Structure 1
């Protein structure tokens, strides 16, 4: 007969159903079998040897797996990176701006900066078209710059500095020629073109560089020039604009007979039509015998204290004529309509560093100071003795500008 049992343990009691009750009870009363003997203890020597052997086998296994899976690819990648680093070590591309057959002074400052990164392999790039005024003359001058090679791109779409057609051209050059640094002087052109190039290269642009420590470490202003920040970039390509006031323009000999290699770039592949973006409409040139504001050695600037446009012209112009200086303005004066936007000096205008800067009726807002405080000599004329401009001025005159400026003009 089959034995059916249902057991429930409550302490030492055992309940059984069906036949075989006495056998089950007797078995339950038997003493339990003795426990098995414990395993012999392992000696320290055996444990150490076993652990060492396992670790050694693990390392061999990991090493073999790495070898099979990716050591070759890893070594190839490292070799490519090392080779690329060697190739990039001496390759800097300087963007050459020109106008009316003359090289922009900002470019000469950018060349100075490029020489501090690498003095041997500096490549220049210049663009324009046969319609561009003075383009061929600018190319001839660019060939006399201290560079190892000049790249020339001539195309009707590059007649003006419009970012949409120009940025892809420079990006293509940087990628195809393993350029490590793209450098340009800080100007309205580079402020428009360079951010697009940086985006196309998927790198961060470093703007307004004031000092170069090495090829990857730079110093730039922050907080409107009240603090300096040291930037270290590990990007494969550095896109830089340099503050022209911080780098002395290199001396250019227009009569020099240079031996620079000139390469004219050709159209590669099918030309893509630029759609969307901006296009050139018109340009109105104002003829003036005055020096260009960004590169002038002497500047007379007016602010809100001049009160209106008539006073701005009548008070500042005679003094500027006597000094053969450029005329500038604060943002407050520009916003009030006293002067054209092209004359604005400051963080959102032009950054200047002339030998002499005369601030007339300018209180000295932090944005304005950021654009002129590197001037060699600063003269401030203001009737408010607490005006912030006096904190950076070398010579301060607390007086009514409508009396002081005409008197100063007469005595010059």
Structure 2
């Protein structure tokens, strides 16, 4: 069975790791040989000794591991220097940011590497256990509400005191995907009254099952649908009608959680500056789509902007702030994928089933060629600007 290498993440601020002692033990029992770079799990609360106890070999100098192992599991795209060391025929799996990533693809093709970009994993029943976007979005939705609650100038729940009754906070969530539904559940647990807006009328049942109040999309416009489990882009006419509908809700909201994203496209602008002008000073907006241009005007990645008393929180990288559980879920997703694509009879080489919809959906490079050129030629930066 193949050798698997888990490197230490090098992106600034990234605390997650692509394997935990739990998944090391799990994969070891399947016959894989695990190598973990020293210190790889420290940021997520996993000590080197725990990996060694689970059966992994600790690597102090990773250069040789990059060049000799069959599989590399990562969270973010590794540096180009490390990718250039991968041996021919190796398999790389992680969140590789494939949109517009032509230099990375060229490097991988030059090495003959098979690379799985987990952002592209199809959302089908068979792939649910491998769905890293969902597991990480779940955490982001949870943490977004905690950030909003910490910045808010009011209580979240209703309180009845000797000094009078405090009314519950009013939360507005834009988008009823995985992150939005977790944000709804978290805000409800903290006692807020929660309203949810989504472009899909079919989301109403899910929202109401969690105790939220659904804001139906504009009826006079053609609403966007979804494809492969991912939302499709809405027309500008629909977004304009939606913004008009949301303006009144925003004026009453204490906190707003923005979660609407479309793969490979600029995030839809749902809150413009004129709508922010109508919000109450002291209210909070957390924008989870800020790295893709943002659902809210004026948000900036990784920082909080005070705009006329309204706190605008750029909520990118939130899963890394809950690194222990984020890593645990991410590592299980990767282990499930690896178990799926590598058969028990595999030896040194991989025999990937290119007809398998899971493999076909997220296999970015294979055999020295890019299999998804339409993805690589699309740059989010262009549409954001």
Same fold per superposition (TM over 0.5): no
Q: Please, what TM-score do these two structures have when normalized by structure 1?
A: 0.30
For normalisation by structure 2, the TM-score amounts to 0.32
